[in-house]
Chain A
Amino acid sequence: MAHIVVFLISWFVHDIHISKSEVEYSQESKSLQISTHIYIDDLEEIIGIELGGQDLFVGTEKERDSADYYIYGYIQDHLQFEIDNQKAYYEFIGKELSEDLLAVWVYLEVYDVEEISSLNITYDILMGLYDDQKNILSLRMPEDEKSFYLFHSRKRDESIQF
């Protein structure tokens, strides 16, 4: 039964141009933890265009060994953070398939972040593919309500002061 449901859902060719990221600053581990949700078909297409990575078969048994390398590379180009006006570099922690099997959650982490007083974000993932691509970022800082930021082709950057 579950197989039938999954088949029926993945049968649908999605035309929803949304990516989303959840960003959380952990005071305990002094790190900025990032989870990014991207649709696989779009991600493979844009990696082919921008980085020349072909036939990655992300999320399947045939997935190429270099898939993570390309995904990490693409995200580094299109999801960027500056902490207190210094470029922040994140590590690739891993990825997993979303429940509907259409997308991946990619996990990234910036280490050794002692404190954050300002954050500049550039988030234009997949905007090279679709004019109507929208990216949603939620940010949770310690002791703060989660705040949300919307990115689209005419607004790719956000500056946040704390």
Chain B
Amino acid sequence: MSEFSTYLQLGWQHIADINAYDHILFIIALCATYLISEWKKVLVLVTAFTIGHSVTLILAALGLIVFNRSIIEFLIPVTILLTSIYNLFNIKSSAIKDTFARRTNIKYLLAMGFGLIHGMGFSNYFRSLLGKEESIIKPLFAFNVGIELGQLLIVVIIFVITWLLYRLIHMKQREWILFISGVTAGISIILMMETKFW
């Protein structure tokens, strides 16, 4: 295999790895409350998250920022919990869509800010993949592309599942948001207890 396809595959497998499901859980919390008709909003949201995690992945991989890894491992489930709480508090607002515009902007900013934290998590893993390569630019680029592809796959799967639930069991959006946010919040609290660093 070429270097590019190796690191692409490693990036893809890293985000889509069901054993390391913290990133998947965050994407669920971020996207699962949207209807498929709101795909434009989701696109912006996911892009904001991507910009955030690419920035810190690149900076950390190049050694330009240093951080405490155990704090980052703890903060990742915190981002999931906060996103879940945000979803719960915005159930009413999402019913009245016109007054919702400003809050949506806050959510984009949150997604980008939380992306910064997830990017540092990605960089922990990425650095462990590197050998004594002369240049890390190509592996870094390939790894990041792999992460974006894996992320895209997760978003698509989430929308297929929620679409099926709406179609088949006529699920109500309000109940779904309550349910899925409760699940992501609950799991994130367990993860926080596992990763607490003090």
Q: A147-B1, A148-B2 are in contact. Are A11 and B129 (CB under 8 A)?
A: no
List the B side residues contacting A150 at CB < 8 Å: 1, 6, 9-10
With beta carbons under 8 angstroms apart, the residue of A8, A13, A14, A134 that contacts B68 is A8
B7: nearest residue on chain A (CB-CB)? A148
With beta carbons under 8 angstroms apart, the residue of A11, A16, A134 that contacts B70 is A11
B179 is an interface residue with CB less than 8 A from chain A: no
Interface string of B3-17 (1 = CB under 8 A from A): 101100110000001
Chain B contributes a number of interface residues (CB within 8 A of A) equal to: 22
**Could you tell me if A16 and B3 are in contact, using CB atoms closer than 8 angstroms?**
no
B92 CB to closest chain A CB (Å) equals 39
B90 CB to closest chain A CB (Å) equals 33
Q: A16-B124, A150-B1 are in contact. Are A5 and B129 (CB under 8 A)?
A: no
A89 is an interface residue with CB less than 8 A from chain B: no
B148 is an interface residue with CB less than 8 A from chain A: no
Q: How far is the CA of A28 from the CA of B1 in the complex (A)?
A: 26
Interface string of A27-69 (1 = CB under 8 A from B): 0000000010100000000000000000000000000000000
B128 is an interface residue with CB less than 8 A from chain A: yes
**Could you tell me if A12 and B68 are in contact, using CB atoms closer than 8 angstroms?**
yes
A41 CB to closest chain B CB (Å) equals 13
**Chain A residues packing against B (C-beta within 8 Å):** 5, 8-9, 11-14, 16, 18, 20, 22, 35, 37, 132, 134, 136, 138, 145-150
The 4 closest A-B pairs by CB, nearest first: A148-B6, A12-B69, A12-B70, A16-B128
Q: 20 A-B contacts, Cβ less than 8 Å apart?
A: A8-B69, A9-B68, A9-B69, A11-B68, A11-B70, A12-B68, A12-B69, A13-B70, A14-B124, A18-B129, A20-B130, A20-B131, A35-B131, A136-B10, A136-B129, A138-B3, A145-B2, A148-B2, A150-B1, A150-B10
